Structure 1
Amino acid sequence: MSTAELSTWLDIPRTHPFGVQTLPYGSFTTPDAPRRRVGVAIGDAVLDVTAAAASLLPGRAGLFAAGSLDALLAAGSRAWAEVRAAVTMWLTDERYRDAVAPLLVPASRATMLLPFTVADYVDFYASEHHAVNLGRMFRPGSDPLTPNWKHLPIGYHGRAGTVVVSGTPVLRPSGQRRTPDGEVVFGPSTRLDIEAELGFVVGTPSTPGQPVRLADFEQHVFGACIVNDWSARDIQAWEYVPLGPFLGKSFATSVSPWVVPLAALAHARVAPPPRNPRPLPHLDDADAKEWGLDVELEVRLNGHPVSRPPFAGMYWTAAQQLAHMTSGGAALRPGDLFASGTVSGSEPGQRGSLIELTWNGAHPLVLPDGTSREFLADGDEVVITAAARGPGGTTVGFGEVRGLIAPAWSR
């Protein structure tokens, strides 16, 4: 029986983005029980999976004992399928109601934590619309795409230690930058930006020196989350030649607290855009499973919607990104996180960064309170949400990633 045909004994509207079709995983505490636990979101509640597995799935209870997703990620795809099937049964079979109901915590009482230990963090640059927009801004009169862009997924390594969970304040970074009159100064960034993205969480490791094939994507990737790759555009512009982003992107990367399993995204899979030229064999997915994803993101600035980026138009898929990331022999580890890069569509209202929405500050956003923004101001709050098509007309929700800009640290 598919999840579209399943009904839960909880009182949850079928339209709820955290219905039985989703069942995302996270890590949480509550005021009365500060010990970290693994949870699964169901409606407006969180199921304490750490406690439930101890009595209902003892053979897998060790995967949840530490309260993070680390052990589950490392357990591999067979364990992921077994646990998801068990949790689905607990929440849909009346026989489990008495055992499971006491383990449901109102989501409003849960404090969400970073759900897993981030081993490595890689960020890609996979939206052709985003890349073309930036190319037109900074290389007018020439080809907006660099010669390599349609041959491989361009990316860079970030700092895993600066990945933070939604709700963590984002301090405005300081760094070296060049002013419009050419003076080189050090100080707080004046062009702080967002990047609305999806992130993919690796579970099963790979062997050093052995590339991961496109066909093996599902064996290694556990699920997806929302990412806000905060960017200090002025610091980035001064530092990135010749080795790419560094301090302009390493101060904070926010992720949503819920990781949506790949299994929940089966009905959201779509064909990616046509590729020309055809990718080299290790990236050629013409005869492979389609890993474009029909996911709609929404960006709100101080409560006001400013963009709705569509993920389905991303030129490079997550499967291709994983294949490229390992093609030189780099090994995967449980907890590796790789992000899609800014999600932008073909329309102005679908751009996933302020540098695009304001065209590098030339056309500021005007907010309902009458204020305008070229880039982020202290006190601004950005919230990014995402949802995918689910089975039988349902919606698979990702939750949100939220960040409030705090003033730069003062020496």
Structure 2
Amino acid sequence: MKYLNTKIQLIFVAFAVLISCGKPAEHITVTPELFHESVNKVTNIMIHDIFSPPVASRVYAYPNIAAYEILAQNSSEFQSLNGKLNEFTPIPTPADLKEVNLELAALIAHMEISKKLIFSEDRMAVLQDSLYAQWETVNEVEYNKSKTYALNVVKHIKGWMDKDNYNQTRTMPKFTVDTDDPSRWQPTPPSYMDGIEPHWNKIRPFLLDSAAQFKPERHPEFSLEKGSKFYEELMEVYNVSQDITKRGDKTEEIEIAQFWDCNPFVSVTRGHFMFATKKISPGAHWIGITQIASKKANSNVAQTVNAYTKTSIAIADAFISCWDEKFRSNLIRPETLINQNIDPDWLPILQTPPFPEYTSGHSVASGSASVMLTELFGDNFNFDDDVEVPFGLPVRSFKSFYAASAEAAISRLYGGIHYRAAIDNGLDQGKKVGHFVVEKLKDTK
């Protein structure tokens, strides 16, 4: 009887094993929230590592493109960017699409490319290791095949990325300040940093024909003669600042200036010590708005990645266009001229960032991003912008992306860091870049 019971138990065990072997493994689910988490991780690392606005725009673009291209392979809604992006060639395709979870591969590729573009790789690895361990437990076969494919795509994207001249610009000479010409940019207090990324116009654009494709209208001719257009714009910066500060530190203009500050290089002096207060870049703010819009629109994974990708391309090309003009015109900042000629004790409400004045980088990036987001989500898309809440600033609400970009642009006047021409012409320059990017990518939707 004991032998019979043992035999029956063995039969039941064998049956259970057969049942479990026949049960299909659970599918690994990737949600839009996981992509938001990956993008947010990149943003937080860039804040920690202190990336300049142009470099930050590059860090966003390549990981998004990698994810987008993977998803586009089996999408009826979105088409590959092959043939659109400059010098871009098709990514590898898996031997069997059915064996690869494309959403999973896209997310893995996003994280892997991101890790190659930041300094603090260990911070990205924390997120990766946590997710990889989880996915391996859910479905080891699906995870391994998807990861293997993702890494093949990463290798391809990295090969393309490494040819955009970024590495070459790391070894180019720093910007030389022309102290003999009073119209030329000079380093500004308190840290008097060198001009940031003077060779950014040599970076390969994503879609633009060249960095100089959308050269803005020339700024008013430099002149300190009273009555000249340039002098009027200089005095406007000074007078607006004086008026704002007289009305106290709680004015609407100060709130707007602080909300759109987005200066990763703000330096604070305490006695003999100087340290940086870390903030997001202008591009990061608009990537945050992209996330807000995607969530409000209840976008699925592919739609979310599409929004991130096309907005980040618009922002990246905007910075290439803007920096091309900045170091060509090489115009002096209001702070320098006001201190030299009007009021030696004057300070702008915002700290002046370390690069030439014309055109306004935030205006150009905001103009370009607003055009792309309007194309993706529609005009009159109202939203509550809480991107700056982690930095102690309140939510601001906007009726449209264009309204947000207009406020971002005028914030530079309120902050005392740009003349009117840099703001207005910069916004126009950015919108031209944005419309060009939209047209180039129209048949990829």
* TM-score, length-scaled by structure 1: 0.25
* TM-score, length-scaled by structure 2: 0.24
Which structure is higher in helix share? 2
